[in-house]
Structure 1
Amino acid sequence: MNPHSDERIVDSWEKNATQWAATVRNRKVESRKLVTDKAIVESILSHSPESVMDVGCGEGWLIRELAPGVPHLAGVDVVPELIELARTAGGGSFLAASYEEVAAGRIEGAFDVVVCNFSLLGKESVEALFGAVPGYLKSGGVFIVQTLHPVVANDQAYVDGWREGSWDGFGSEFVDPAPWYFRTLESWVALFSDNGLRLASMREPLHPDTGKPASVIFTGEVIPPSNF
Protein backbone atom coordinates (compact mmCIF):
# COMPACT_ATOMS: atom_id res chain seq x y z
CA MET A 1 0.00 0.00 0.00
CA ASN A 2 1.28 3.44 -0.94
CA PRO A 3 2.10 5.19 2.37
CA HIS A 4 0.87 8.51 0.94
CA SER A 5 -2.53 7.70 -0.52
CA ASP A 6 -6.26 7.94 0.05
CA GLU A 7 -6.30 4.17 0.61
CA ARG A 8 -3.82 4.55 3.44
CA ILE A 9 -6.02 7.19 5.11
CA VAL A 10 -9.00 4.83 5.12
CA ASP A 11 -6.87 2.00 6.53
CA SER A 12 -5.75 4.19 9.45
CA TRP A 13 -9.26 5.34 10.32
CA GLU A 14 -10.55 1.79 10.27
CA LYS A 15 -7.89 0.92 12.87
CA ASN A 16 -8.79 3.89 15.06
CA ALA A 17 -12.58 4.02 14.74
CA THR A 18 -13.36 2.90 18.31
CA GLN A 19 -10.76 5.23 19.83
CA TRP A 20 -11.95 8.18 17.76
CA ALA A 21 -15.61 7.70 18.63
CA ALA A 22 -14.78 7.65 22.34
CA THR A 23 -12.64 10.77 22.00
CA VAL A 24 -15.37 12.72 20.20
CA ARG A 25 -18.16 11.61 22.50
CA ASN A 26 -16.16 12.46 25.60
CA ARG A 27 -15.22 15.86 24.11
CA LYS A 28 -11.51 15.35 24.60
CA VAL A 29 -10.33 17.54 21.68
CA GLU A 30 -9.87 21.00 23.16
CA SER A 31 -10.13 22.98 19.92
CA ARG A 32 -13.38 21.23 19.05
CA LYS A 33 -14.84 21.82 22.50
CA LEU A 34 -13.83 25.49 22.61
CA VAL A 35 -14.25 26.60 19.01
CA THR A 36 -14.74 24.42 15.98
CA ASP A 37 -17.79 22.31 16.90
CA LYS A 38 -19.86 25.42 17.61
CA ALA A 39 -18.46 27.17 14.52
CA ILE A 40 -19.58 24.48 12.07
CA VAL A 41 -23.03 24.13 13.65
CA GLU A 42 -23.56 27.90 13.45
CA SER A 43 -22.36 27.99 9.85
CA ILE A 44 -24.85 25.31 8.84
CA LEU A 45 -27.81 26.67 10.76
CA SER A 46 -27.25 30.19 9.41
CA HIS A 47 -28.68 28.86 6.12
CA SER A 48 -31.86 27.55 7.81
CA PRO A 49 -31.62 24.21 5.97
CA GLU A 50 -34.38 21.65 5.71
CA SER A 51 -31.89 18.96 4.65
CA VAL A 52 -28.19 18.35 5.29
CA MET A 53 -25.76 15.66 4.12
CA ASP A 54 -22.63 15.22 6.27
CA VAL A 55 -19.90 13.57 4.18
CA GLY A 56 -17.28 11.98 6.40
CA CYS A 57 -19.70 12.02 9.32
CA GLY A 58 -17.69 9.71 11.57
CA GLU A 59 -19.72 8.53 14.56
CA GLY A 60 -22.46 11.04 13.77
CA TRP A 61 -22.06 13.80 16.37
CA LEU A 62 -22.84 16.63 13.93
CA ILE A 63 -26.02 14.94 12.71
CA ARG A 64 -27.18 14.53 16.31
CA GLU A 65 -26.37 18.18 17.06
CA LEU A 66 -28.41 19.36 14.08
CA ALA A 67 -31.33 16.97 14.59
CA PRO A 68 -33.49 19.26 16.76
CA GLY A 69 -33.63 21.92 14.04
CA VAL A 70 -33.16 20.14 10.71
CA PRO A 71 -35.84 17.68 9.53
CA HIS A 72 -33.85 15.65 7.01
CA LEU A 73 -30.32 14.54 7.87
CA ALA A 74 -28.01 12.04 6.18
CA GLY A 75 -24.51 10.96 7.18
CA VAL A 76 -21.99 9.15 5.01
CA ASP A 77 -18.66 7.63 6.03
CA VAL A 78 -16.31 5.05 4.55
CA VAL A 79 -15.69 3.29 7.89
CA PRO A 80 -18.47 0.76 8.64
CA GLU A 81 -17.78 0.73 12.39
CA LEU A 82 -18.31 4.48 12.63
CA ILE A 83 -21.54 4.23 10.65
CA GLU A 84 -22.84 1.51 12.97
CA LEU A 85 -22.08 3.69 15.98
CA ALA A 86 -23.86 6.60 14.30
CA ARG A 87 -26.93 4.49 13.50
CA THR A 88 -27.12 3.26 17.08
CA ALA A 89 -27.02 6.83 18.42
CA GLY A 90 -29.60 8.02 15.86
CA GLY A 91 -30.50 11.48 14.64
CA GLY A 92 -30.64 10.76 10.92
CA SER A 93 -30.02 8.17 8.23
CA PHE A 94 -26.52 6.80 7.75
CA LEU A 95 -24.75 5.01 4.91
CA ALA A 96 -21.32 3.39 4.66
CA ALA A 97 -19.83 4.59 1.39
CA SER A 98 -16.51 5.88 0.09
CA TYR A 99 -16.03 9.36 -1.33
CA GLU A 100 -15.56 7.72 -4.72
CA GLU A 101 -18.98 6.10 -4.37
CA VAL A 102 -20.53 9.40 -3.33
CA ALA A 103 -18.89 11.02 -6.35
CA ALA A 104 -20.34 8.28 -8.57
CA GLY A 105 -23.89 9.17 -7.45
CA ARG A 106 -24.51 6.53 -4.77
CA ILE A 107 -26.52 8.94 -2.60
CA GLU A 108 -30.10 9.66 -3.58
CA GLY A 109 -31.68 13.07 -3.36
CA ALA A 110 -30.51 16.67 -3.10
CA PHE A 111 -29.75 18.78 -0.04
CA ASP A 112 -29.79 22.38 1.15
CA VAL A 113 -26.36 21.88 2.70
CA VAL A 114 -23.58 19.41 2.02
CA VAL A 115 -20.95 19.62 4.76
CA CYS A 116 -17.48 18.17 5.28
CA ASN A 117 -16.18 18.82 8.79
CA PHE A 118 -12.46 18.04 9.10
CA SER A 119 -13.07 15.11 6.78
CA LEU A 120 -11.22 16.11 3.60
CA LEU A 121 -7.79 14.61 4.17
CA GLY A 122 -6.95 12.95 0.86
CA LYS A 123 -6.13 14.03 -2.67
CA GLU A 124 -7.92 12.22 -5.51
CA SER A 125 -10.96 11.30 -3.42
CA VAL A 126 -11.42 14.91 -2.34
CA GLU A 127 -11.07 16.20 -5.89
CA ALA A 128 -13.67 13.69 -7.11
CA LEU A 129 -16.05 14.65 -4.31
CA PHE A 130 -15.80 18.36 -5.14
CA GLY A 131 -16.74 17.56 -8.72
CA ALA A 132 -19.88 15.78 -7.58
CA VAL A 133 -21.13 18.11 -4.85
CA PRO A 134 -22.95 20.60 -7.13
CA GLY A 135 -25.14 17.71 -8.29
CA TYR A 136 -26.18 17.03 -4.69
CA LEU A 137 -27.23 20.61 -3.93
CA LYS A 138 -30.74 21.98 -4.24
CA SER A 139 -31.22 25.34 -5.90
CA GLY A 140 -29.69 27.87 -3.54
CA GLY A 141 -27.87 25.16 -1.60
CA VAL A 142 -24.34 25.48 -0.21
CA PHE A 143 -21.25 23.33 0.32
CA ILE A 144 -19.59 24.00 3.68
CA VAL A 145 -16.08 22.76 4.44
CA GLN A 146 -14.28 23.14 7.77
CA THR A 147 -10.64 22.11 7.75
CA LEU A 148 -7.30 22.80 9.38
CA HIS A 149 -6.17 26.33 8.65
CA PRO A 150 -3.35 25.95 6.11
CA VAL A 151 -1.23 28.74 7.57
CA VAL A 152 -1.40 27.47 11.16
CA ALA A 153 -1.13 23.78 10.20
CA ASN A 154 1.90 24.30 7.97
CA ASP A 155 5.37 23.59 9.33
CA GLN A 156 7.03 22.93 5.98
CA ALA A 157 7.29 24.71 2.63
CA TYR A 158 3.93 26.33 1.83
CA VAL A 159 3.13 24.11 -1.15
CA ASP A 160 0.57 21.40 -1.77
CA GLY A 161 1.68 17.89 -0.95
CA TRP A 162 1.39 14.84 1.27
CA ARG A 163 2.33 15.19 4.93
CA GLU A 164 2.93 12.61 7.63
CA GLY A 165 0.16 12.16 10.15
CA SER A 166 0.41 12.28 13.93
CA TRP A 167 -1.65 11.38 16.98
CA ASP A 168 0.27 13.82 19.19
CA GLY A 169 -2.00 14.98 21.98
CA PHE A 170 -4.20 11.90 21.74
CA GLY A 171 -4.03 8.77 23.87
CA SER A 172 -1.63 5.89 23.45
CA GLU A 173 -4.53 3.75 22.22
CA PHE A 174 -4.33 5.52 18.84
CA VAL A 175 -2.14 3.69 16.32
CA ASP A 176 -0.74 4.06 12.82
CA PRO A 177 -1.59 7.73 12.06
CA ALA A 178 -2.94 8.54 8.62
CA PRO A 179 -1.10 10.78 6.17
CA TRP A 180 -2.93 13.83 4.86
CA TYR A 181 -2.75 16.01 1.79
CA PHE A 182 -1.85 19.63 2.56
CA ARG A 183 -3.45 22.38 0.45
CA THR A 184 -2.69 26.10 0.52
CA LEU A 185 -5.52 28.60 0.84
CA GLU A 186 -5.17 29.31 -2.88
CA SER A 187 -5.60 25.63 -3.68
CA TRP A 188 -8.70 25.30 -1.48
CA VAL A 189 -10.29 28.28 -3.21
CA ALA A 190 -9.41 26.79 -6.60
CA LEU A 191 -11.13 23.53 -5.67
CA PHE A 192 -14.37 25.45 -5.34
CA SER A 193 -14.05 27.59 -8.46
CA ASP A 194 -12.77 24.73 -10.64
CA ASN A 195 -15.88 22.71 -9.80
CA GLY A 196 -18.56 25.29 -10.48
CA LEU A 197 -18.78 26.67 -6.95
CA ARG A 198 -18.45 30.32 -6.02
CA LEU A 199 -16.85 30.99 -2.65
CA ALA A 200 -19.56 32.87 -0.77
CA SER A 201 -17.63 33.23 2.49
CA MET A 202 -14.48 32.20 4.32
CA ARG A 203 -14.42 32.27 8.14
CA GLU A 204 -11.40 31.81 10.38
CA PRO A 205 -12.62 30.87 13.89
CA LEU A 206 -10.05 31.92 16.49
CA HIS A 207 -8.88 29.82 19.41
CA PRO A 208 -9.66 31.84 22.57
CA ASP A 209 -6.36 30.99 24.24
CA THR A 210 -3.86 31.31 21.37
CA GLY A 211 -5.64 33.95 19.31
CA LYS A 212 -4.73 31.94 16.21
CA PRO A 213 -7.17 30.45 13.71
CA ALA A 214 -8.45 27.08 14.97
CA SER A 215 -9.73 26.28 11.50
CA VAL A 216 -11.01 27.76 8.28
CA ILE A 217 -14.61 27.40 7.09
CA PHE A 218 -15.37 27.75 3.39
CA THR A 219 -18.92 28.14 2.08
CA GLY A 220 -19.44 27.62 -1.63
CA GLU A 221 -22.54 28.06 -3.74
CA VAL A 222 -23.28 26.85 -7.24
CA ILE A 223 -22.42 29.39 -9.89
CA PRO A 224 -25.61 30.13 -11.85
CA PRO A 225 -25.45 29.61 -15.61
CA SER A 226 -24.67 32.66 -17.69
CA ASN A 227 -27.40 34.21 -19.81
CA PHE A 228 -24.94 34.86 -22.61
Structure 2
Amino acid sequence: MSDSEFSDKNILHSWHINAAPWIRAIGEGDIASRKLVTNGAIVDAVLQRQPATVLDIGCGEGWLARVLAERGLEVWGIDAVPELIEAAQHRAGPQEHYHLLSYEALAAGELRRRFDLLVCNFSLLGGESVEGVFAAAQNLLNPGGHLVVQTPHPMVACGDADYRDGWRPGSWAGFSEDFSEPAPWYFRTMESWLRLVRGSGLRLEEKKEPLHPETGKSASLILVATLPL
Protein backbone atom coordinates (compact mmCIF):
# COMPACT_ATOMS: atom_id res chain seq x y z
CA MET A 1 0.00 0.00 0.00
CA SER A 2 1.42 3.39 -0.99
CA ASP A 3 1.32 6.52 1.17
CA SER A 4 -1.45 7.94 -0.99
CA GLU A 5 -3.66 5.01 -0.01
CA PHE A 6 -3.29 5.51 3.74
CA SER A 7 -6.22 7.14 5.52
CA ASP A 8 -7.90 7.49 8.89
CA LYS A 9 -10.07 4.49 7.95
CA ASN A 10 -6.97 2.26 7.92
CA ILE A 11 -6.23 3.27 11.49
CA LEU A 12 -9.72 2.38 12.69
CA HIS A 13 -9.61 -0.93 10.81
CA SER A 14 -6.39 -1.89 12.58
CA TRP A 15 -7.76 -1.03 16.01
CA HIS A 16 -10.87 -3.12 15.42
CA ILE A 17 -8.60 -6.08 14.69
CA ASN A 18 -6.17 -5.47 17.54
CA ALA A 19 -8.50 -4.40 20.34
CA ALA A 20 -8.22 -7.66 22.28
CA PRO A 21 -4.40 -7.92 22.29
CA TRP A 22 -4.20 -4.21 23.16
CA ILE A 23 -6.43 -4.69 26.19
CA ARG A 24 -4.19 -7.54 27.34
CA ALA A 25 -1.00 -5.55 26.72
CA ILE A 26 -2.22 -2.59 28.77
CA GLY A 27 -3.56 -4.82 31.54
CA GLU A 28 -0.27 -6.69 31.81
CA GLY A 29 1.89 -3.57 31.59
CA ASP A 30 3.75 -4.72 28.49
CA ILE A 31 4.70 -1.24 27.23
CA ALA A 32 7.81 -0.28 29.19
CA SER A 33 7.93 3.40 28.21
CA ARG A 34 4.39 3.89 29.50
CA LYS A 35 5.26 2.47 32.91
CA LEU A 36 8.55 4.36 33.14
CA VAL A 37 7.58 7.75 31.78
CA THR A 38 4.51 8.57 29.77
CA ASN A 39 1.66 7.30 31.98
CA GLY A 40 2.83 9.40 34.90
CA ALA A 41 3.58 12.36 32.65
CA ILE A 42 0.04 12.58 31.26
CA VAL A 43 -1.61 12.05 34.65
CA ASP A 44 0.52 14.83 36.16
CA ALA A 45 -0.20 17.18 33.25
CA VAL A 46 -3.94 16.72 33.74
CA LEU A 47 -3.97 16.97 37.54
CA GLN A 48 -1.85 20.14 37.51
CA ARG A 49 -4.76 21.92 35.82
CA GLN A 50 -7.16 20.89 38.62
CA PRO A 51 -10.17 20.14 36.39
CA ALA A 52 -13.45 18.87 37.79
CA THR A 53 -14.59 17.31 34.50
CA VAL A 54 -12.48 15.63 31.82
CA LEU A 55 -13.13 14.19 28.36
CA ASP A 56 -10.67 11.42 27.42
CA ILE A 57 -10.65 11.44 23.60
CA GLY A 58 -9.63 8.05 22.25
CA CYS A 59 -9.89 6.52 25.72
CA GLY A 60 -9.28 2.93 24.61
CA GLU A 61 -9.87 0.44 27.39
CA GLY A 62 -10.09 3.30 29.90
CA TRP A 63 -6.92 3.10 31.99
CA LEU A 64 -6.35 6.87 32.09
CA ALA A 65 -9.99 7.68 32.83
CA ARG A 66 -9.94 5.18 35.73
CA VAL A 67 -6.83 6.75 37.23
CA LEU A 68 -8.30 10.24 36.98
CA ALA A 69 -11.63 9.10 38.45
CA GLU A 70 -9.77 7.57 41.38
CA ARG A 71 -8.37 11.08 42.01
CA GLY A 72 -11.90 12.46 42.30
CA LEU A 73 -12.46 13.74 38.75
CA GLU A 74 -15.64 13.18 36.74
CA VAL A 75 -14.45 11.59 33.49
CA TRP A 76 -16.10 10.87 30.16
CA GLY A 77 -14.32 8.67 27.63
CA ILE A 78 -15.03 8.22 23.95
CA ASP A 79 -13.65 5.76 21.42
CA ALA A 80 -14.80 4.42 18.05
CA VAL A 81 -13.91 0.76 18.78
CA PRO A 82 -16.78 -1.17 20.43
CA GLU A 83 -14.55 -3.77 22.09
CA LEU A 84 -12.45 -1.10 23.78
CA ILE A 85 -15.49 0.80 25.04
CA GLU A 86 -17.04 -2.42 26.34
CA ALA A 87 -13.85 -3.18 28.26
CA ALA A 88 -13.87 0.32 29.75
CA GLN A 89 -17.53 0.08 30.72
CA HIS A 90 -16.98 -3.30 32.35
CA ARG A 91 -14.58 -1.78 34.89
CA ALA A 92 -16.19 1.66 35.17
CA GLY A 93 -16.73 3.27 38.56
CA PRO A 94 -19.46 5.78 39.38
CA GLN A 95 -17.44 8.75 38.08
CA GLU A 96 -16.61 7.17 34.71
CA HIS A 97 -18.84 7.48 31.64
CA TYR A 98 -17.89 5.79 28.36
CA HIS A 99 -19.50 6.27 24.96
CA LEU A 100 -18.93 4.76 21.52
CA LEU A 101 -18.25 7.85 19.40
CA SER A 102 -15.98 8.56 16.45
CA TYR A 103 -13.78 11.63 16.14
CA GLU A 104 -15.86 12.70 13.16
CA ALA A 105 -19.04 12.56 15.27
CA LEU A 106 -17.29 14.48 18.04
CA ALA A 107 -16.24 17.16 15.56
CA ALA A 108 -19.81 17.32 14.25
CA GLY A 109 -21.06 18.28 17.71
CA GLU A 110 -22.80 15.04 18.68
CA LEU A 111 -21.46 15.21 22.25
CA ARG A 112 -23.46 18.13 23.61
CA ARG A 113 -21.43 18.78 26.74
CA ARG A 114 -18.56 20.98 27.87
CA PHE A 115 -15.61 20.02 30.02
CA ASP A 116 -12.86 21.64 32.06
CA LEU A 117 -10.22 19.61 30.23
CA LEU A 118 -9.82 17.47 27.11
CA VAL A 119 -7.05 14.88 27.09
CA CYS A 120 -5.67 12.98 24.10
CA ASN A 121 -3.08 10.43 25.17
CA PHE A 122 -1.31 8.95 22.12
CA SER A 123 -4.72 8.94 20.45
CA LEU A 124 -4.22 11.54 17.70
CA LEU A 125 -2.78 9.37 14.95
CA GLY A 126 -4.80 10.37 11.89
CA GLY A 127 -4.99 13.17 9.39
CA GLU A 128 -8.35 14.87 8.93
CA SER A 129 -9.80 13.32 12.08
CA VAL A 130 -7.13 15.00 14.21
CA GLU A 131 -7.77 18.34 12.56
CA GLY A 132 -11.44 17.87 13.41
CA VAL A 133 -10.68 17.28 17.10
CA PHE A 134 -8.68 20.51 17.32
CA ALA A 135 -11.37 22.43 15.47
CA ALA A 136 -14.02 21.15 17.90
CA ALA A 137 -12.04 21.96 21.05
CA GLN A 138 -13.54 25.43 21.55
CA ASN A 139 -17.05 23.99 21.58
CA LEU A 140 -16.12 21.23 24.02
CA LEU A 141 -14.29 23.33 26.61
CA ASN A 142 -15.53 25.58 29.36
CA PRO A 143 -13.93 29.06 29.24
CA GLY A 144 -10.45 28.79 30.70
CA GLY A 145 -10.41 25.05 30.05
CA HIS A 146 -7.46 23.07 28.73
CA LEU A 147 -6.56 20.67 25.94
CA VAL A 148 -3.74 18.29 26.89
CA VAL A 149 -2.14 16.20 24.13
CA GLN A 150 0.57 13.57 24.50
CA THR A 151 2.06 12.24 21.27
CA PRO A 152 5.33 10.67 20.08
CA HIS A 153 8.01 13.34 19.96
CA PRO A 154 8.43 14.40 16.31
CA MET A 155 12.22 14.58 16.45
CA VAL A 156 12.43 11.01 17.76
CA ALA A 157 9.48 9.47 15.91
CA CYS A 158 10.72 10.80 12.58
CA GLY A 159 13.53 8.26 12.49
CA ASP A 160 15.49 8.31 9.25
CA ALA A 161 12.58 9.60 7.16
CA ASP A 162 12.26 13.16 5.89
CA TYR A 163 11.18 15.63 8.57
CA ARG A 164 7.90 16.65 6.97
CA ASP A 165 4.22 15.93 7.44
CA GLY A 166 2.86 12.80 5.86
CA TRP A 167 1.55 9.28 6.29
CA ARG A 168 3.90 6.63 7.66
CA PRO A 169 3.44 2.85 7.78
CA GLY A 170 2.80 1.45 11.24
CA SER A 171 4.59 -1.28 13.16
CA TRP A 172 3.95 -3.57 16.11
CA ALA A 173 7.67 -4.06 16.74
CA GLY A 174 8.19 -4.95 20.39
CA PHE A 175 4.65 -6.23 20.83
CA SER A 176 3.44 -9.82 20.96
CA GLU A 177 2.62 -11.92 17.91
CA ASP A 178 -1.06 -11.48 18.74
CA PHE A 179 -0.96 -8.10 16.97
CA SER A 180 -1.48 -7.88 13.21
CA GLU A 181 -2.09 -5.34 10.43
CA PRO A 182 -0.41 -2.34 12.11
CA ALA A 183 -2.16 0.98 11.65
CA PRO A 184 -0.54 3.70 9.56
CA TRP A 185 -0.17 7.08 11.23
CA TYR A 186 0.11 10.67 10.11
CA PHE A 187 3.45 12.20 11.10
CA ARG A 188 3.47 15.87 12.07
CA THR A 189 6.47 18.10 12.68
CA MET A 190 6.69 20.23 15.81
CA GLU A 191 5.63 23.27 13.82
CA SER A 192 2.64 21.40 12.44
CA TRP A 193 1.44 20.51 15.95
CA LEU A 194 1.83 24.12 17.04
CA ARG A 195 -0.05 25.27 13.95
CA LEU A 196 -2.96 23.01 14.92
CA VAL A 197 -3.06 24.66 18.34
CA ARG A 198 -3.00 28.17 16.88
CA GLY A 199 -5.69 27.32 14.34
CA SER A 200 -8.00 25.94 17.01
CA GLY A 201 -8.38 29.28 18.76
CA LEU A 202 -6.56 28.00 21.83
CA ARG A 203 -3.42 29.49 23.37
CA LEU A 204 -0.35 27.31 23.94
CA GLU A 205 0.31 27.30 27.67
CA GLU A 206 3.07 24.72 28.01
CA LYS A 207 5.23 22.38 25.95
CA LYS A 208 6.82 19.46 27.78
CA GLU A 209 9.27 16.82 26.55
CA PRO A 210 9.46 13.98 29.10
CA LEU A 211 12.78 12.12 28.94
CA HIS A 212 13.10 8.35 28.96
CA PRO A 213 15.31 7.51 31.98
CA GLU A 214 17.15 4.73 30.15
CA THR A 215 17.70 6.20 26.68
CA GLY A 216 17.94 9.87 27.63
CA LYS A 217 15.79 10.71 24.61
CA SER A 218 12.42 12.42 24.57
CA ALA A 219 9.78 9.79 25.30
CA SER A 220 6.96 12.02 24.12
CA LEU A 221 5.75 15.53 23.45
CA ILE A 222 3.06 17.02 25.69
CA LEU A 223 1.22 20.14 24.57
CA VAL A 224 -1.09 22.04 26.92
CA ALA A 225 -3.38 24.65 25.38
CA THR A 226 -5.96 26.92 27.00
CA LEU A 227 -9.28 28.35 25.85
CA PRO A 228 -9.05 32.04 26.82
CA LEU A 229 -11.68 33.40 29.21
TM-score over 0.5 for the pair? yes
Partner in structure 1 of residue 214 of structure 2: 209
Quote the offset at 1:23 in angstroms: 0.4
Quote the offset at 1:140 in angstroms: 1.0
Distance 1:19 1:45 in 2: 29
Specify the code of the residue in structure 2 equivalent to 1:135: N
Partner in structure 2 of residue 13 of structure 1: 15
The alignment status of 1:124 with 2:128, answered yes or no, reads yes
Match of residue 84, structure 2, among 82, 85, 88? 82
Match of residue 165, structure 2, among 160, 164, 172? 160
Contact kept in structure 1, 2:144 and 2:228, CA below 8 Å: no
Partner in structure 1 of residue 56 of structure 2: 54
Partner in structure 1 of residue 66 of structure 2: 64
Distance 2:29 2:209 in 1: 21
Partner in structure 2 of residue 112 of structure 1: 116
Distance 1:190 1:76 in 2: 25
Structure 2: unaligned runs, 5 residues or longer? none
Instruction: Out of 87-96 and 184-193, give the one that drifted further.
Output: 87-96
Specify the code of the residue in structure 2 equivalent to 1:43: A
Partner in structure 2 of residue 30 of structure 1: 32
Specify the code of the residue in structure 2 equivalent to 1:51: T
The alignment status of 1:141 with 2:145, answered yes or no, reads yes
Secondary structure, in 3 states, of the residue corresponding to 2:207?
Answer: strand
Secondary structure, in 3 states, of the residue corresponding to 2:118?
Answer: strand
Distance 1:164 1:127 in 2: 20
Partner in structure 2 of residue 195 of structure 1: 200
Distance 2:178 2:71 in 1: 35
Match of residue 47, structure 2, among 45, 48, 66? 45
Distance 2:58 2:37 in 1: 20
Give the paired residue count: 224
Secondary structure, in 3 states, of the residue corresponding to 1:14?
Answer: helix
Distance 1:138 1:22 in 2: 35
Distance 2:71 2:112 in 1: 22
Distance 2:145 2:71 in 1: 17
Distance 2:138 2:157 in 1: 28
The alignment status of 1:93 with 2:90, answered yes or no, reads no
User: Which consecutive aligned stretches of 4+ in structure 1 deviate over 4 angstroms post-superposition?
Assistant: none
Quote the offset at 1:108 in angstroms: 2.4
Instruction: Out of 175-184 and 131-140, give the one that drifted further.
Output: 131-140
Distance 1:171 1:114 in 2: 31
Secondary structure, in 3 states, of the residue corresponding to 2:147?
Answer: strand
Secondary structure, in 3 states, of the residue corresponding to 1:35?
Answer: helix
Distance 1:71 1:144 in 2: 15
Distance 1:187 1:194 in 2: 10
Partner in structure 2 of residue 177 of structure 1: 182
Quote the offset at 1:3 in angstroms: 4.0
Structure 1: unaligned runs, 5 residues or longer? none
Specify the code of the residue in structure 2 equivalent to 1:82: L
